[in-house]
Chain A
Amino acid sequence: MIQEIIINGLINGSIYALLAIGFSLIFGVARLVNIAHTALYMTAAYFILIGLDYWGMSAPLAALLAIVITTMLGLICYQLVIKPIREHEGAVLIATIALAMAIQEIFLIGFGGHYLGVPPAATGYLFLAGVKVAKQHLLALGVSVLALVGTWALLLKTRIGLGIRCTAQDREVANLMGINVNREIMMALGISVAMAAVAGVIVAPLRVIDPHMWMEPLIMMLAIVVLGGLGSIKGSFIASYILGFTEALVVFALPMGAFLKVTVALSIMILALLIRPEGLFGVVFEEER
């Protein structure tokens, strides 16, 4: 049973990490609480479906197209909706909720409330530590890990990453030091949305595509970033796996309560916050003030 929990937890955690790190990144850099983050993840899932079913593309091309279109869409939305109100956190929060709802309605009108799916890029399964694991799950795990490593390298090993980290650390000082803060925010947003798009693309063959598929991961993602500490990428990474393993553990230990996996994950978040209000790796609120 332990092998199953580890493998399922790893897969869950990696997909959550892709979503949560992207969300944390843009919060850390621009203090933007982008509720539309998972709606963009859904957008990528729909675009891979469109690429495969309507435009007859190959899976890699459809995936690439979905990531590019979603990232462009995210940047356009930022320019049109978020940038003018960027300094007002409350307004940004509400605007991104509205944006997510608008994206949902667009897909609802376009595709109806039908549950759709795309075929997996890798079919069949493998035995891993005696556990049956679908190849598509392993592919999702591999792509997630690659994307996470790529993001880590981009942020820590390149000048682009340096600029983004400087902006995240202190936007005003970065501006005074000659860093183009607006450009860095755009870069960070691009990376953030691209990560959401990658998550959408790898999840599409595993799950069900429908206009409400953005809501469940949104709750988990918010729980992860709060547990890990708002704006902390390291925190989001670790919290993703904590909650990923928790979900798997709940299903195995409490089959009758499998539906409780999200509730248990949220309870862990609340418990952690009672002990450490700033989250596992967050900035202490008093210090931030």
Chain B
Amino acid sequence: MKRSSVFGVVLLFLTLVLCSGFHAWAADPIKIAIVGPMQFTQGEGHWNGATMAAEEINKAGGISVKGTKRTIELIKVDSNEFLSIPDATNAMELAISKHKADFVMGGFRTEAVLVMQDIAMDNKKIFLGCGAAHPELCERVTKDYDRYKYWFRITPINSKHLVAVDFILLDMVAKAITKELDIPKLKVAIVAEKAAWADPMVKIAEGKLPQMGMEVVGVWRPSPTATDTTAELSAIQRAGAHIIFTTFSSSVGIPLAKQAGELKIPAAVAGINVESQKDGFWKATGGKGDYGLTVNTYARVKITDKTIPFFDKYLERYKEAPNYNAGTYDGLYLLKTAVEKAETLEADKLVPVLEKTEVTETAGKLVFTKDHDVTWGPGFVTAIGTQWQDGKNLCVWPNGWQGVKYEGTVEYKVPPVMVEHYKKKK
């Protein structure tokens, strides 16, 4: 063998040894599965929020576990939970068994998340919920702590608190209308999609609105996927409603807003309308959804020091505002803090640390309740109320509620079509 060939072989051998050596020295990444309906806005929010946080954390060196910096490796898992609960089950199995995820994050539809939660608990995997609001998910922690202690909800706030915010917003709208139009007794049309989560909301509203000094002129329950609400709107207008109190999580929120705008129904649309939280709502309604008000999580206001930078960066990168599923961003930072404090990835050791961890992230101060739910209230996560005003989804609440007002919050505006209608009447 020529001397040059021997030299080449030795060089190749050394290169291989060095490469494999470097691989051995580098710590394994921490695998985090982001499970959500990836073909839909909600799943995109999950993935986008997590991606931004993971990139930032990795750029800063990763998560320090016992002095070793470990990067984050995200695994995108499509749960397809809008269309199939079994698909969601398979997705969670896949994330844990095949991808060997250290943590799971995401979920949106309660029915799917309940099943996914069970699989994660069977495998003792920490599951940070970022999408489903149902109380049952956290009540399970109280009922059977040893089994469900690995579950924590990051976003949104519990649906019981969502209801509270919903009525606070309604009260704010009622006061604004009374002040501007001097209507002695406001009439409210309750319009709620026919879904299990909305049933208790309707019952509460029917009881609470008269106590708030308002008259319920009717309850309409369109299908969550209804594509035409003209008949409902004709009936609502005939009933003389001043406020259309919405409870929508599905697509029906778009035709209602669009058609109410097209028909210039002289009523304020307020309540929960998940579709109107998204930037795409403006285009989907052709701008007819203007002045609609909804409970929301993100807007360009200073909830904390981190909110506006996050909002701007998200908007610049994805060309839309973050939805509440992008709370995976907060979830990853929370996890980083807890892991660095616990110095381990072991779920059983991490759970008590997570329970005590307090971090201020983009949606507010994250502190968990006894049942591992995100704490709601002044000083914690409050949620916000956003109103579309001339094509911008602006924060209008909290605006002094319990002493809370986020910088950038604007006043709620009574829809001009309503002002015009009632001032003309006088």
Contacts and interface: CB of A to CB of B under 8 A. Distances in A.
Interface of A: 1, 4-5, 8, 11-12, 108-109, 112-120, 123-125, 131-132, 134, 136-137, 203, 205-208, 210, 212-213, 216, 247-248, 251-252, 255-259, 261-262
A182 B39 CA distance: 40
B278 to A, nearest CB: 8
B41 interface: yes
- In this complex, the member of A8, A115, A116 whose beta carbon has the largest number of chain B beta carbons within 10 angstroms is A115
Interface in B208-234: 218-223, 225-228, 230-232, 234
Contact of B255 (A113, A136, A207): A207
Contacts of B254: 115, 117, 208
A251 B231 contact: yes
A283 to B, nearest CB: 33
A257 B264 CA distance: 25
B41 A113 contact: yes
Contacts of A124: 262, 264
A117 B234 contact: no
Given A8-B230, A134-B230, A208 B219 contact: no
Q: Which of A1, A118, A123, A256: most chain B CB closer than 10 A? A: A256
Given A5-B231, A259-B223, 6 more contacts: A1-B238, A112-B40, A114-B41, A132-B237, A132-B263, A255-B235
Interface residues of B, number: 39
A120 B232 contact: no
Contact of B264 (A1, A120, A125, A131): A125
B220 A255 contact: yes
Interface stretch (B26-34, B128-136, B283-291, B386-394): B283-291
Contact of A116 (B226, B231, B283): B283
A203 B50 CA distance: 37
B93 interface: no
Contact of A120 (B41, B275, B286): B286
Interface in B194-208: 194
Nearest to B239: A255
Nearest to A262: B223
B199 to A, nearest CB: 11
A113 B238 contact: no
Given A116-B280, A117-B285, A8 B220 contact: no
Contacts of A261: 223
B273 to A, nearest CB: 12
A120 to B, nearest CB: 7
Contact of A206 (B225, B228, B234): B228
Contact of A255 (B221, B223, B237, B262): B221
Contacts of A213: 227
Contacts, number: 115
Which 5 interchain pairs have the tightest Cβ spacing? Answer: A113-B40, A259-B194, A207-B227, A251-B231, A117-B284
A248 B235 CA distance: 10
Interface in B243-270: 251, 254-255, 258-259, 262-264
Given A115-B280, A115-B284, A255-B220, A4 B234 contact: yes
A257 B37 CA distance: 30
Interface in B283-323: 283-286
A123 B193 CA distance: 27
Nearest to B286: A119
A252 B40 contact: no
A134 B222 CA distance: 20
A259 to B, nearest CB: 4
B230 A137 contact: yes
A270 B253 CA distance: 31
Given A112-B41, A113-B37, A251-B231, A208 B222 contact: no
A113 B39 contact: yes
A123 B284 contact: no
B264 to A, nearest CB: 7
Nearest to A253: B235
B41 A252 contact: no
A258 B232 contact: yes
B418 to A, nearest CB: 15
B263 A258 contact: no
Contacts of B219: 255-256
B73 interface: no
Nearest to B282: A117
B44 interface: yes
Contacts of A256: 219-221
Q: Which of A112, A118, A137, A216 has the most CB of B within 10 A?
A: A112
With a 10 A CB-CB cut-off, give which of A112, A119, A212, A251 has the most chain B CB atoms.
A251
B82 interface: yes
A134 B258 CA distance: 11
Contacts of A248: 231
A37 to B, nearest CB: 17
B262 A134 contact: yes
B321 to A, nearest CB: 14
Contact of A4 (B37, B194, B238, B258): B238
Interface in B30-54: 37, 39-41, 44
